[in-house]
């Protein structure tokens, strides 16, 4: 990429994806154990991480668009 802002945003997005995977694993474990309290905790955490994923992805796409706009005018 070469752009520090792109790299930071991509790193943030990757971290969110890793956290989402970890939460899905936790959910599976809680479901196998029929642990309703843990299932609810993880379900709420998944809702939060989904919002973070969406916001980070939008920021990444918006920043990438600035590079395309600059390239188009060059």
3-state secondary structure string, 12-62?
Answer: HHHHHHHHHHHHHHHHHHHHHCCCHHHHHHHHHHHHHHHHHHHHHHHHHHH
Tens digits of residue pLDDT in 11-22: 999 999 999 999
Q: What is the structure's pLDDT at 34? A: 97
Look-up of token digits 């905790």: 41
Global confidence as pTM:
0.79
Q: What is the structure's pLDDT at 73? A: 81
Using the predicted structure, report yes or no on whether residue 1 has a pLDDT greater than 60. no
Tens digits of residue pLDDT in 38-54: 999 999 999 999 999 99
């Amino acid at each position: 990429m070469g752009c520090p802002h792109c790299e930071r945003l991509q790193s943030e997005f990757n971290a969110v994806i890793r956290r989402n995977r970890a939460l899905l694993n936790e959910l599976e474990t809680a479901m196998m154990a029929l642990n309703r309290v843990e299932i609810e905790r993880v379900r709420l955490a998944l809702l939060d991480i989904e919002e973070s994923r969406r916001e980070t992805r939008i920021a990444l796409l918006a920043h990438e668009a600035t590079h395309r706009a600059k390239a188009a005018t060059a």
